[in-house]
Amino acid sequence: MIKIKCCSALLLAVFASSVMAAPSGTFRQAHELGFGSSSSLDPISKGRVFQITEKIMSRLIRPGLDGKPQADLATSWSANSDATVWTFKLRSGVTFHDGSSFEAADVIYSLGRVLDPESGSPARSAVKMIDKVEAVDPMTVKISLSTPFADMPLQLMDYRLRMLPEGSGDTIATTGIGTGPFKVEKFDAEGTTVLVANADYWEGSPGVARMEVIGISDGQARLQALLGGQIDMERGITGQQKVMLSGSSKFKLQEIPTGNWRGFVFRTDVKPFTDQRVRKAVRLAADREALVALVLGGGGIVACDTPVEPNDQYRANITCPQDIALAKKLLADAGFPNGIDIDVHVATLEPSWPTLAEAYQQQASKAGIRVNIVQVPTDGYWKEVWMKKDVAATRWNERPADQALHEIYLSTAKWNESYFKDAGFDDLLSSARRQLDFNKRKALYVQAQEHLWENTGTFIPYTVTKVVGTTSRVSNLDEVKNDAVRWHKITVD
Partner 1 sequence: MLSMLLRRLSLGFITVALVSIIIFTGVEFLPGDACTAFLEREAQGKLLENCRRDLDLNRPAIDRYLDWASSAMVGDLGVSVNGQQSIAELVGNRMNNSLLLAFCALLVGVPLAIFLGVITALWRDKPIDLVFSTAAIFAMTIPEFVSSTVLILVFSAWLGWLPGIVLTSANASAAEFFPEIILPVIVVAMVMTAHILRMVRTSVIDVLASDYVRMATLKGVPYWQIVFQHVLPNALLPAINVVALTIAWLLGGVVVIEVVFNYPGLGRMMIDSISDRDLPVVQAIALILATVYVSVNLTADLLTMIANPRLRTLHMRK
Query: 273-304 burial, b for 16+ CB within 10 Å, e for fewer?
Result: bebbbbbbbbbbbbbbeebbebbbeebbbbbb
Quick one: 163 or 216, whose CB is closer to partner 1? 216
Considering only residues 12-41, where is the footprint of partner 1 by CB under 8 A? 33, 35-38
The alpha carbons of the chain give a radius of gyration, in whole angstroms, of 24
> Which one among 130, 145, 214, 492 touches partner 1, defined by CB under 8 A?
214
Q: Which of the ranges 2-10, 183-191, 336-344, 450-458 carries the binding residues for partner 1, by CB under 8 A?
A: 183-191
419 near partner 1, judged by CB under 8 A: no
| Contact mark string toward partner 1, 255..294, x via CB under 8 A | ----------------------------------------
99 touches partner 1 (CB under 8 A): no
230 binds partner 1 per the rule CB under 8 A: yes
Q: Which stretch binds partner 1 (CB under 8 A): 14-22, 165-173, 225-233, 455-463?
A: 225-233
462, 302 Cβ separation under 8 angstroms? yes
Nearer to partner 1, 382 or 453 (CB): 382
217 sits near partner 1 (criterion: CB under 8 A) = yes
The least distance separating partner 1 from the CB of residue 216, rounded to whole angstroms, comes to 5
240 is a site residue for partner 1 (CB under 8 A): no
Q: Is 246 in the site for partner 1 (CB under 8 A)?
A: no
Question: Which residues on neighbouring strands pair with residue 395, listed in sequence order?
Answer: 262
- Say how many residues touch partner 1, by CB under 8 A: 35
What track of x and - describes contact with partner 1 for positions 362 through 401 (by CB under 8 A)? Answer: ---------------x-xx-xxx-x---------------
> How far apart are CB 383 and partner 1 at their closest, in Å?
5
Compute the distance between CA of residue 243 and CA of residue 233 in angstroms, rounded to an integer: 16
The Cα 211–Cα 216 span in angstroms is 16
Interface residue with partner 1, options 122, 321, 351, 424 (CB under 8 A): 122
Give the binding range for partner 1 (CB under 8 A) out of 158-166, 185-193, 201-209, 464-472. Answer: 185-193
Using rule CB under 8 A, residue 216 touches partner 1: yes
- Using CA atoms, how far apart are residues 152 and 60, in angstroms rounded to an integer? 12
Cα–Cα distance between 492 and 475 in angstroms, integer?
Answer: 6
Tell which one of 93, 99, 228, 247 touches partner 1 (CB under 8 A): 228
Could you say whether residue 137 binds partner 1 (CB under 8 A)?
A: no
User: Does the protein bind partner 1 through residue 220 (CB under 8 A)?
Assistant: yes
User: How far apart are the C-alpha atoms of 345 and 347, rounded to whole Å?
Assistant: 7
The CA distance from 237 to 231, in Å, is: 14
Binding test (CB under 8 A) with partner 1, winner from 10, 11, 17, 46? 46
Closest approach, Cβ 450 to partner 1, in A, equals: 28
The residue among 36 and 424 lying less far from partner 1, judged by its C-beta, is: 36
Q: How far is the CB of 8 from partner 1 (least distance, A)?
A: 39
- Residue 120 or residue 167: which is nearer to partner 1 going by CB? 120
Q: Is 171 in the site for partner 1 (CB under 8 A)?
A: no
Q: Which is nearer to partner 1, 197 or 227 (CB)?
A: 227
CB nearer to partner 1: give 36 or 321. 36
Q: Decide if residue 205 touches partner 1 (CB under 8 A).
A: no
Using CB under 8 A as the criterion, which residues of the chain lie in contact with partner 1 when the complex forms?
33, 35-38, 46-47, 120, 122, 188, 190-192, 214, 216-218, 220-222, 224-225, 227-231, 377, 379-380, 382-384, 386, 415
